[in-house]
Amino acid sequence: MRVYGVQFNPIWEEKQENFNYIRQALEKEEVEKNSLIILPETFATGFSLNTGITTDSEPSLTKSFVSDLAVNHRSWVAGGMIEKVNRQSFNRFICYSPKGENVIEYDKIHLITSLEEDKAHSAGKKCKVCDVGPFTMCPTICYDLRFPELYRQGTRMGANLFVVIACWPEVRIQHWMTLLQARAIENQAFVIGLNRTGKEPKNIYNGNSVIFDPKGKVIDHLGSKAGILKGQVKVDEVENWRKQFPAQKHKREELFLPDIN
């Protein structure tokens, strides 16, 4: 399956302009049918905590955009948005199929309190997986990356592909690269990290979107400028490596998670 990740600088709280940028960026690519297109965390607005703006006209506005993009490119499309449910706002990962159907919604579990995200958003409570082409994908969002337990749970649920969408700041970008590679190696899975670029009131972002294979090898890596992350991910690479080096079978989870059953 081909991967196309749109790394860019979202215009602050301007949804239609960001939608237009994404459309134009992908029109320049010959996107293969049944590929996976990935957009950053809160791609429509930037990392704004003004839920009056981020949830305005939602969920139909952003979800319709993602659904249409999926149909137009006959591919899976994943990205992040803010959605209000019963007066609570969630930092949400959404993914649509090539038919324009919603296949998963995952709410960010770990909110970054140092940026006061917990004052604007409610935390998710469930790790989730879904089928994306030949893969079982586990979605995660930004600060989630620092918590390996979430990725272990995804692996237990059958994940062989992790997608991390983010607004990860430049000041901690080394952590981003190291943690993404670690999640790939320890779970013997593909890990795709899709970050953004540019400046916002409280942060500077320098991209560094990357695809790691199940052994932790870089498939593609972008620098600090806007661009399209590209790569080929093959499910048999995960299966073959897990058979060749069966670390997943050697986990002693009964020692650390006695109530797992």
Q: Kindly state whether residue 206 falls inside one of the protein's structural domains.
A: yes
Which CATH number do you get for residue 199? 3.60.110.10
The confidence score (pLDDT) of residue 238 equals 98
Q: Kindly state whether residue 257 falls inside one of the protein's structural domains.
A: no
pLDDT tens track for 145-163: 999 999 999 999 999 999 9
Total number of domains in the chain: 1
For the question of residue 116 being annotated catalytic, the response is no
Q: Kindly state whether residue 261 falls inside one of the protein's structural domains.
A: no
Determine contact, residues 162/154, Cβ cutoff 8 Å.
Answer: yes
Given the residues 108, 117, 127, 130, select the one marked as catalytic.
108
Q: Per-residue pLDDT for 126 more than 70?
A: yes
The confidence score (pLDDT) of residue 254 equals 83
For the question of residue 130 being annotated catalytic, the response is no
Mean predicted confidence (pLDDT) in 94-119 = 98
Q: Kindly state whether residue 259 falls inside one of the protein's structural domains.
A: no
Q: Kindly state whether residue 258 falls inside one of the protein's structural domains.
A: no
Determine contact, residues 226/5, Cβ cutoff 8 Å.
Answer: no
**What percent of the chain is modeled with pLDDT above 70?**
98
pTM of the full structure: 0.96
Q: Kindly state whether residue 28 falls inside one of the protein's structural domains.
A: yes
Q: Per-residue pLDDT for 259 more than 90?
A: no
Given the residues 15, 41, 58, 167, select the one marked as catalytic.
41
Q: Kindly state whether residue 152 falls inside one of the protein's structural domains.
A: yes
For the question of residue 142 being annotated catalytic, the response is yes
Enclosing domain of residue 83? 2-249
The confidence score (pLDDT) of residue 183 equals 98
